[in-house]
Amino acid sequence: MMGRTPCSDENGLKKGPWTPEEDRILVDYIQKHGHGSWRALPKHAGLNRCGKSCRLRWTNYLRPDIKRGKFSEEEEQLIINLHAVLGNKWSAIAGHLPGRTDNEIKNFWNTHLKKKLLQMGLDPVTHRPRSDHLNLLSNLQQLLAATNIVSNLTNTWDTNNALRLQSDATQLAKLQLLQNILHVLGDTTPTSNLDLLNPFGPSSSSLPDGFLNEVLGLNQSKLQNLYNGYSAQNQPNLQSFEPPHQQQVLPTGNQHMDGGSIDSSCMKPEKGDEQLDVPYSSSTPFNSLPNLVSASPECSTHVLMQMENKVMPNECSDPSSSTSTNFEMWGDFMYEEVSDAYWKDLIDKETN
């Protein structure tokens, strides 16, 4: 491809915004003859444009089936979930949103959704919570903001469940703050994150009671209960709290403290090695919460299916179940199995 000249260099072809007259000529021509060879089209249609420019104009703006206007809440959520599965595959994402173009979705992502995820404390590349050891309180605020998103997602649930989930997520956010702080205090190379929650474990000595009370609203007894409860009942759901081993060491020279360091392996899948799940990279923060906007196919698809009413939302909780803990409910929401057929279909579509 070296040395290939841009199409606009050929004979001073026009660049830049299209005039209404050019649009009319292009639409008229395609309606009469179809686009045929894009390269030949402008010559036949009498346009002083390159074929590429004509194709772009037609596919992004002039096609009759294009849907203009603001993205709906549903479209927005769909894009976020598809992005968690597909990454920056804008044309693939556009395939799931009739009437929307890849360019429009890409712009919308870059101008709105990326910021929105960042504000929620989620990494827009991995869709996992960001870690930012230098700004712990801000991190907590982001996590709490994320819990509000969760409560928005639950608007079809009964109010009790929504409130319980939000309360759990808030508690979880506090625990993450606690973990962060312990990590920064520098005495923690925990054998597991559960150890961090153990008030009688090796890490607890560095936490004054006053801090627990004033900042986290916890006392030693509450912390003990949390530890006991979580370790006894929910260990399987705590997998995402497990620190990758290299993250157990405090940041060294070439590790960024700003939380913005993304393993290049998760920026874009290698050609021929495209994955539908967002990779869990070595840079994934050790203090990750369970995903609120999931990076895993199962969870993303679950949300998608909820949106498509293929799963009853309140399957996620059973208020009558007294043995089900709040945290289990969260786990159910995040890890509930979905139809294999549906997921296989999605994979097939994207890989073929």
Name the residues that contact DNA, by CB under 7 A: 1-2, 4, 6-8, 14-18, 36-40, 51-53, 55-57, 60-61, 88-92, 102-104, 106-108, 110-112, 115, 268, 271-272
Smallest gap, in angstroms, from Cβ of residue 271 to DNA? 4
- Crossing angle of helices 297-307 and 73-86, in 10° steps, is 160
Angle, helices 220-233/326-335, rounded to nearest 10 degrees: 40
Which of residues 40 and 250 has its CB atom nearest to DNA in the complex?
A: 40
DSSP state of 196: H
Tokens of 209: 């009671």
Q: Which is nearer to DNA, 38 or 335 (CB)?
A: 38
C-alpha to C-alpha distances, 17 to 30, 242, 291, nearest whole angstrom = 19, 52, 42
Nearer to DNA, 86 or 334 (CB): 86
Cβ burial of 135 (10 Å; 0-12, 13-18, 19+) is: middle
**CA dist., res. 158 & res. 174, Å (int):** 25
Q: Tokens in use for 241? A: 């709290």
Start-to-end CA span in the chain (Å): 26
Q: How far is the CB of 346 from DNA (least distance, A)?
A: 15
Give residues with Cβ within 8 angstroms of 317, minimum separation 6: 157, 161, 165, 324, 329, 332, 333
Task: Give the burial class of 245: count Cβ atoms within 10 A of its Cβ; 0-12 exposed, 13-18 middle, 19 or more buried.
Answer: exposed
Question: By C-beta, is 28 or 318 nearer to DNA?
Answer: 28
Beta carbon of residue 129, minimum distance to DNA (angstroms, whole number)? 22
Nearest residue (CB) to DNA, 15 versus 67: 15
Cβ proximity to DNA, 31 vs 111, nearer residue? 111
**Residue 147 beta carbon to DNA: minimum distance, rounded to whole angstroms:** 24
CB nearer to DNA: pick between 16 and 236: 16
Backbone angles phi and psi of 39, in degrees to 5: -65, -35
Residue nearer to DNA on the CB measure, 7 or 307? 7
User: In angstroms, what is the minimal distance from the CB of 264 to DNA?
Assistant: 12
Shortest distance (Å) from residue 319 CB to DNA: 40
Residue 111 phi/psi, 5-degree rounding, is -95, -30
Is there a contact between 313 and 280 (Cβ–Cβ < 8 Å)?
Answer: no
Least CB distance to DNA at residue 131 (A): 23
Would you call 49 helix, strand, or coil by DSSP? coil
Give the nearest distance from C-beta 89 to DNA in angstroms.
3
